[in-house]
Structure formats: structure tokens, C-alpha cells
Structure 1
Amino acid sequence: MTRRTKTFRLAAVAATSALVLAACGGGDDDGGSDDSSTPSRSDGVLTVGMLLPQTGSLAFLGPPEFAGVDLAIQEINEAGGVLGEDVVGIKADSGDTDSGIAAAETDKLLDADSDVIVGAASSGVSMTVVDKIMSAGSVMFSPANTSTDFDNGDFADPDLYFRTAPSDILQGAVMANLLIEDGKQNVAILARQDAYGETLAEEISKGLEAAGSTVAATVFYGENAQSYDSQVAEIAESKPDAVVLVAFEETTTIVPQLVSANVGPQTVSTYFVDGNTADYSADLPAGTLAGTKGTIPGAEAAGDFRERLLTIDPSLTDFAYAGESYDATIVSALAAITADSDAGDKIAEEIPGVTEGGTTCTSFAECADLLADGEDIDYDGVSGPIELGETGSPTAASIGIYQYGPDNTYAAVNYISGTI
């Protein structure tokens, strides 16, 4: 059963974060752009590239993200398109940081004159291609980047990078408060040793410690680790009352090792994050994850939205980041109409404005009609209010809390809304 809360008061992090109410990882922060040297190009057709995971450690996120973009393009074109022309969509595989295919796939999208590239899912992958995309004058609009790096350094200045997913500051705070609400006092964190894992571990720790809980151990493992024996042993030695696993597809290897060390989900309360809250019904013995909880940024995918997604991809069973992908596409199209141009730099100038401050609208057709009447608009999407701030990141967002059943699939139990 799903229940909603009106607001989420983050008592655990009030002293340590700019978060006021009720978040996949990055790299360095040297990817800003120089607007004066950004080329402006337009061919009259809005082309949306999709740099999303078809392979690699986040491949399970690809189907709902592709479906979200495809659905948006379909609905935009059914409503008359953009600038009198149908929007064109082009797919590419972002892979992951191990495969390193994103650069070549990005070239494919840019060669096809993509004005907006929706992706990547992984912040680490985005960091490898963001300069290439922005230097070409195209918008990079990620539906799933949660690294705090994108709100710091060069990225804090207005440029061609945007995202519909909130920073890990929010997900970390929500996870910390979830642990506190569940009465956990001695929490161990096992995380990937990359910007994603390190940032989330840090934010979760901040919240726990601010509330007086103890972080029993924070243990990291390499992205390409062949074994997790020593890390799992360290977690077990800390004798935690809860384990937070910040991971990707390696979850299917780590969980059985945790079970063997008597710190698995049926012995110690276990928590996942957006990188590994997935369907494990075919990967782990029935009952392994029963009771495990996870967090995923984003509002609830409403029933009608899911039905529309299933017309695009009937095989969908996971809807994570579908709403964020859909909204990134809709916002880009509305910005192109406002700019009266499909050029990336012109679209970028209008993206924040169509998400705040005007007449509220909730569909492309409705918003486009308002724009045709000369009205300012505030698009509220299927993923939430969006409200993109000066760094191109959401200033208001939701985090879903999910729980696993005996079949190792998960269902929503709560949604936390708030501002950053």
C-alpha cells in the first residue's frame, strides 16, 4: 500500500545541509562551458538524441528511460510537433564507465545533428562526454545524474547542462532519515569507490551522525573488484543493526556474500539506493530480499503514465527514471517553442523559464497552447514540479521509498517531497 506525506522535515541533517524539506555518481568538476565560444546551429527540426544505457551496469535503467523519451516524442508530434515539424529521436548506448563507449556513441548523436541529448544515466559517464556535447552547442539533459559535482565549480554557472533528477544530497538525507525512523543506531555502509558511492555514503553518514546514530563502518570496493570478501568481512565485524548497500549490478554477487557472513537481509536490515533498487526475481533465491528497503529519486509513476509507457514498450516491468526522461524531452520541446529555434544554445536559455513562474500546465499540448496565446508557462511534469534552478538542477523533487517482497521485486510504500 502506498501512503503519501505532505512534507518531510529533515531534522537529521538540518545542521549540516542546505536541504530544507522533504537522488547515479560522477567524477571531477572541470566540465563547464564557455558560452561565448558555443556554436549556435539550427536546421528547423528538433532532434533529440538518447544517450542511455543499453549495456553495462545500469542497463536495467535503459528500457524505462528510452520509453520515456519515445513517449514524449510521440505525444509532442501528435500535438503538432515543434516549429511546425515532427521531433526526431535517435538512440545510442551510453554503456558505463568500464566500457567507455559513450564518447563514440555521442559522436554518432552529434553527427546526426542532435540539438538535445537526453542522458546519460550515470553521472560518471556524463562527465566523460559533457564537454564534447556542450562544445558542439547541444543541450545535455540527464534524467538520472545525481552527483553533487553538477552543482559545483564550473557547472554552477549557466550552461548547456541540465537534469531532472535531484542531487544525492536529497537521497542521502532521505535514506538517513529512513534509517533513523526505523530505529537503526549502528549502521554499516558498503559502497562503490566512485563519486556516486562516495557521495551517497558521505551524505547518509552526515544525516545519521547529526541525529546521534553511529556509523559502524564505511567500506568501499573498487568498481572493477573481482572479490568482495574482505569488504564483507569488515562489514560483518562492525556488528551493524543495518547495512546500506550503495551498488550497481554487482549487488547480485555481494548480497549472497553478505548472507554467508550472517549480515544478509534476513539477519540484518538491509537498504538499497537508486543504483541497485531493481527486480531481482530471476537473480536471487526467493525470499532473499524480503523486507529490504530502497530509495529512488522521482515521484510515483501514475497509473495512466505507466499505461502510456506500456504502449511504447509492453515488456516494461521497471519504471525508474521514465518520468524524468519524459519530462526532460517535454521541457526541451517547450523551450524550443519559446526560443523559436531548435538550436541547443537557444533552447538552453529558455529551459529554466518554462519550468517556473508562469501559468501551470501539465502536458505538452496544454503548455504549447498557452505559449501560442503568448502566456508564460510553468510546466509541472510526471516526475514532479521540476523547478530548475540557476545551476540547471531541480530545486524541488521527490524520493520514493520502496520495499521488497518474498519474490525479490519491490513496490512503493511512500514518497517524500521537498526542496533543496
Structure 2
Amino acid sequence: MMRNSRRVGGIAAGAGLALLLAACGGGGITENSPGGGETSGDIILGMLTPMSGGSAAIGPYMKNGGQLAVDEINEAGGVMGRQLKLVVEDEACDPKTAAAGAAKLVTAGTVVSVGGYCSSATLPTLSIFGKANIPMIIPAANSNDLVKDKLPNVFLINGTGAQQAQAAVEFMKAQGAKAIALADDNTSYSKDITTRTAQNLEGDSAVKVVSQQSVTAGESDYSAAVTEILRAKPDFVYWTGYYQEGGLLIKQLRGAGYKGDIMVADGSVDKQLVSIAGESNAQGVFATMTQTPQTIPGGDQWITKFKEKTGAEPGPYSPQAYDAVRVAAEALKQANSTKGEDIIKALEGIDGFEIFSGKLKFTEEHTLTEGGFDILVVKGGDFALNQ
């Protein structure tokens, strides 16, 4: 369900978390022994994020967000008297690259995985981390395919595709849409959202899906899809893929004369979409998106701290990566153990821990109780909260 306001507890919660963690003692882990509960050396958190490929801009945002949380926790004494260490590997939004990266993280002695951006790249890592008894706190990837098998070690702290599709339908209806075109890049994440959006509109006499197109990621010419979309005469186009292809699609739709509304899903929320589409073409483009630092009321203090500590600007999924580390640390503290099964039990028992999206409590499916999706809109060269 789409929310009209945001909670900001996660912004100030770092200090409170630090005090809690400072009171902990004992525990830890040695390298090369994931999920085993050893009691020496750093506690290693592994992060898969795109450091190369078409979504490489997201990688530093997530890495810096995670590292900021690690630094804060370590400065407060660490967890169980041990220091946290963040180890980052490339997922490149590519299943083979992600699988290789996951194997490296297992070998490095990862206790909790706190990464995962592209759902299609995250899916093959589920079995790798599962076999190693490593809990996964996934900050960005959100296809329902990730939780459909109800794997005990998989937890999402981003809203799911089902929750995003529902938020999209509610907004498009509120905007008075009558004819909707859906476009995806045929990946698990993107296809999941378009499929669920279409399902949510089935039987609705007032709103119809008039076109549903799938394009191939990485191409530069989407004229065939643009032609089919225009032929269907929609008044609203919803793109559910990533920003590189989304920017091109928007540019080509506007160039072909499309005048109606356009909305993108969270994988396209990056100012590079505006650059690729052209600022004039992107103006007024809506987005379904969870928290970004720039759209959270009161987020200026956290942004300032982020810039001071990392020397870089935060961006999409910086807060979620920050929270993934904090949730991992909280679960380790509650479990007083680095054994995978103990951490999983602690994660399932979390109730009211403050993160950016509010008070955390996982559902039986290990998803957020509320998706926390809001509507953003392009203003100038970036996305802002639609008000």
C-alpha cells in the first residue's frame, strides 16, 4: 500500500544502535568458516552489488551505505566485542558474475549477506548462501521470486514486486488513467512487476492494459516496442526495468510523439535516467520507489553524515544498504551467536527495530509488513517526492 508520509527513525537510530552494541560481549568468527559460529577474528558481512555493467552507478551507493553503518558500529565497540568487516564483490546484474561473487564471499568467511541489487542476479546466489548456512538480508532486489520458495535464510528489507505493483495501480488510477501500456526487460524483477500490475487490473472496467511489451536489456533501439505502444494509444506507460534502458525508452517514446504520462519502477530511479532520456523528455516522469535520502523528510542530517564519512554523495539504495548492515548487527546481537540458524531465528524475532522505512517486523514470508512505496517525480535533473 502506498504511504502518504515517511518515518525517519532510521536516520537517528544509529546512535541508539551503537549504545546497544557497545554493551555486547563475546562471540565472533574466523575467516573461511561461514555460518559456523566460531569466536575469533572479524565478523564478515558480504555484499554483492553491481560494480560493473549497466547498473554500475548503484554499486558505490550501496557499498558506501553499508560501510557507513559498519564504521559506526565498530566505533561503538562492534558486535559481541568483535569488529565488523564489509567485503564487497561485483554482481554486475549478471547471474554468472553474481554466482561467482557469492562463492568468493562464502570462501571469505561471510556470516551474513547484506547485498543483492538485481533480482535476476540475486536468484542464483540463494542456493549458494543457503548451502553455506548464511542468512541473506537483501536491501534492493525485490522480485517475489526471491521468496516464493520460502527459504529460511532469505529476508527482504525492500518492498516486494507485489507491493510495488499495487502502489503503481493505486497511483495510476488516482491519476485517471484509462489505457495503460506496460513495458519490461524480461528479467525476473521487471517481469514480476508488470505481470502483477496486469493481474491487479484484470476485471477493472474503468482501466485496461492495452499493451504489454518486453524488450532486450542492453540494446539501443527500442523502436519496435515504441511503435507497438503508440499503436495501442495508452494514456499511461509504466516501465519496470532499469534506468539505462528506461532512459532510452523514454527518449524514444517522446521522440515518436507520445504525450501521455510515464512512470518507472524503482530500478530506474537514478538521475542517470534523466541524463539518458534528456532532461526535457524526463520532466514529469513518475516513479514507484522506496526511501531515497533526498526524499526523506529530515534526511539532510544523514546525508551530511554520509558525505563527511564516505566523501561521496548518497544515492538510491544507500539507506537500504545502511539498514541491511544495521539489521544484521541487531540480529547478531540478539542471537549472541554467529551460527546461521541462530541469526535466522533472531531475524524472525525482530519486532520494532527502527529502519528508514519504519519499525521492522518481518512477515512469515520474510518480507516487510509494509512495502513503503511512495511516488517520486522528475523535477529538473533528479527525482523528488511527488507532492
- CA contact 1:50–1:119 (8 Å) conserved in 2: yes
Q: Equivalent residue for 1:396?
A: 370
The question of 1:52 aligning with 2:49 is answered yes
Q: Equivalent residue for 2:384?
A: 411
Task: Tell me which of 119, 128, 133 is aligned to 2:129.
Answer: 133
Where structure 1 has 5 or more consecutive residues not aligned to the other structure, the ranges are 8-37, 357-377, 415-420
Q: Aligned partners of 1:404 and 1:194: how far apart in 2?
A: 25
Tell me which moved more, 300-309 or 392-401.
300-309
- CA contact 1:288–1:408 (8 Å) conserved in 2: no
Q: Aligned partners of 1:215 and 1:152: how far apart in 2?
A: 26
Shift of 1:164: 0.5
Q: Aligned partners of 2:355 and 2:232: how far apart in 1?
A: 43
Q: Aligned partners of 2:280 and 2:79: how far apart in 1?
A: 49
The question of 1:273 aligning with 2:272 is answered no
SS in 2 for 1:379: strand
Shift of 1:58: 2.5
Q: Equivalent residue for 2:63?
A: 66
Percent identity, aligned pairs only?
23
Q: Aligned partners of 2:227 and 2:359: how far apart in 1?
A: 43
Task: Return the structure number with greater helix share.
Answer: 2
Q: Equivalent residue for 2:25?
A: none
Task: Tell me which of 161, 173, 180 is aligned to 2:154.
Answer: 161
Q: Aligned partners of 1:409 and 1:91: how far apart in 2?
A: 27
- Render the CA deviation track for 1:266-285: whole Å, top value 9, x for unaligned: x1211111111210354343
Tell me which moved more, 202-211 or 81-90.
202-211
Q: How many residues align?
A: 351
Task: Tell me which of 228, 247, 255 is aligned to 1:234.
Answer: 228
- CA contact 2:288–2:375 (8 Å) conserved in 1: yes
Shift of 1:54: 1.1
Q: Aligned partners of 1:317 and 1:298: how far apart in 2?
A: 12
Q: Aligned partners of 1:317 and 1:112: how far apart in 2?
A: 27
- Render the CA deviation track for 1:236-268: whole Å, top value 9, x for unaligned: 1011111111221212322222123212xxx12
Shift of 1:391: 2.3
Shift of 1:348: 1.5
| Residues 404/198 of structure 1: CA separation in 2 closer, same or farther (3 Å cut) | same
Task: Tell me which of 281, 295, 318 is aligned to 1:288.
Answer: 281
Q: Aligned partners of 2:170 and 2:4: how far apart in 1?
A: 14
Q: Equivalent residue for 1:213?
A: 207
Q: Equivalent residue for 2:4?
A: 5
Q: Structure 2-normalised TM-score? A: 0.84
Q: Residue type matched to 1:393 in 2?
A: T
The question of 1:325 aligning with 2:321 is answered yes
SS in 1 for 2:358: coil
Task: Tell me which of 252, 259, 262 is aligned to 1:257.
Answer: 252
Q: Equivalent residue for 1:196?
A: 189
Q: Aligned partners of 2:138 and 2:83: how far apart in 1?
A: 22
- CA contact 2:93–2:117 (8 Å) conserved in 1: no
Q: Equivalent residue for 2:24?
A: none
SS in 1 for 2:180: strand
Q: Aligned partners of 1:63 and 1:385: how far apart in 2?
A: 26
Q: Equivalent residue for 1:12?
A: none
Q: Equivalent residue for 1:379?
A: 353
Shift of 1:203: 2.0
Shift of 1:57: 2.9
